[in-house]
Amino acid sequence: MVTIGVLALQGAVSEHIKMIEDNGAKGLTIKRTDQLDAIDGLIIPGGESTTMRRLIDKYHFFEPLKAFGQAGKPVFGTCAGMILMAGALTDKKEGHLGFMNMVVERNAFGRQRESFEAHLSVMGIPEYVEAIFIRAPLVQEVGEEVDVVSVYDDEIVAVRQGPFLACSFHPELTDDPSMHQLFIQMVEEYAELEA
């Protein structure tokens, strides 16, 4: 059984843990950097990306998170997590963790009151995926090695690049386990390669 951590600095941590455990993997709430050694994959949840980056710096997570991703371990970023994984942001030349070759625009769908739900077609998932968008970011550009796995109204809302998966929406706030199942499968494939 693989162990998947959820970075517990801000956001819907318990909802992600429940999704992980309901789908046959072990979930671990990550509050200390040394816990990264105990996991096979990591979810960076939604929240407020600027606040999350401040907390990442405050608790000395930046370098350990970079090393985790650079080791090729799977990482799944949802909403603010997608922003933190981007190589660049539209309003800032440089991204944060820079795991994925993409340019992300923050709050692209507007403010909190412009939150909405949608059913999306996602590459690798046979059924439609239930998605909740809350002050969601959008991917404005991708590099050649990035696969666009879902679009909404011709806008890119989910991407994959090797061991990295990111989406604009909050799959953990729905009853639909399919995005977590996709990530668990990615983590299991990585764990098999490492075994």
Handedness of CA 192, 185, 23, 82 (dihedral sign): positive
Active site residue 172: yes
Active site residue 194: no
**Cα–Cα–Cα angle for 125, 148, 156, nearest 5°?**
105
Tell me the C-alpha distance between 169 and 164, whole Å: 16
Tell me the C-alpha distance between 159 and 92, whole Å: 20
Tell me the C-alpha distance between 148 and 156, whole Å: 7
* Annotated catalytic residue, options 16, 96, 167, 172: 172
Active site residue 167: no
* Annotated catalytic residue, options 96, 105, 130, 170: 170
**Cα–Cα–Cα angle for 179, 183, 185, nearest 5°?**
115
* Annotated catalytic residue, options 79, 105, 130, 167: 79
Q: Which residues are catalytic?
A: 79, 170, 172
